[in-house]
Structure 1
């Protein structure tokens, strides 16, 4: 069985490669993404961005992970630094990201992701 850190590495590599098959296997059927500007995507919408080629990620540095296992749920918070483009428009950025993993009969699956831009402290 893969550890959460190993699964996080697989996820980051799949995002860069636009590997829809791996992303599909890693995510729950009811996966939800909350983007850095508050938009919400379900699993189909998220995968379609890769499938269509609309979203390309050339670099993704996923680091400084804090991993907390709480029963059958694991919360991962880290820094998501990306070079990407959506429909040709750069969407580079550094975000604080939260991943929610749930233990299923098939193993750990990604149930949700939220990205928040990292700003200056108040």
Structure 2
């Protein structure tokens, strides 16, 4: 059972990565919970609408997103993911490149699908 859930989360993480690369707002909308809490690498608190708008408007453009060091812990109907990402892209027209660590909390929604309820992004020194 845990192996199956872990595989599901790994597949969802890859789907999320592809959606971020393509700024696919439809998929991002599906994967992010309506009440998600996002803490950016600058310590800003963001809502789902903020993240979707940044992708939709082109404010954020991600050209490369290489994952490494992924860890997944399962707790009943919740999964915590920590993944290191080498990112290259732009934010508001300025280069945004670096090594980041993403922590995401996935939870099962009322309709039985997984979505992200919390996310934190930190720069790796």
TM-score (norm 2): 0.90
Q: Which residue does the alignment assign to 1:27?
A: 32
CA RMSD of aligned residues (A): 1.4
Q: Which residue does the alignment assign to 2:21?
A: 16
3-state SS in 2 of match to 1:9: helix
Of 96, 102, 115, the match for 1:109: 115
Give the number of aligned pairs: 119
* Alignment gaps of 5+ in structure 1: none
d(CA) in 2 for partners of 1:108, 1:33: 17
Of 52, 66, 69, the match for 1:64: 69
1:49-71 Cα deviation digits (max 9, x unpaired): 01111110000112221000011
Of 36, 43, 60, the match for 2:41: 36
* Alignment gaps of 5+ in structure 2: none
Deviating beyond 2 angstroms after TM superposition, the runs of 4 or more aligned structure 1 residues are none
- CA offset at residue 110 of structure 1? 1.0
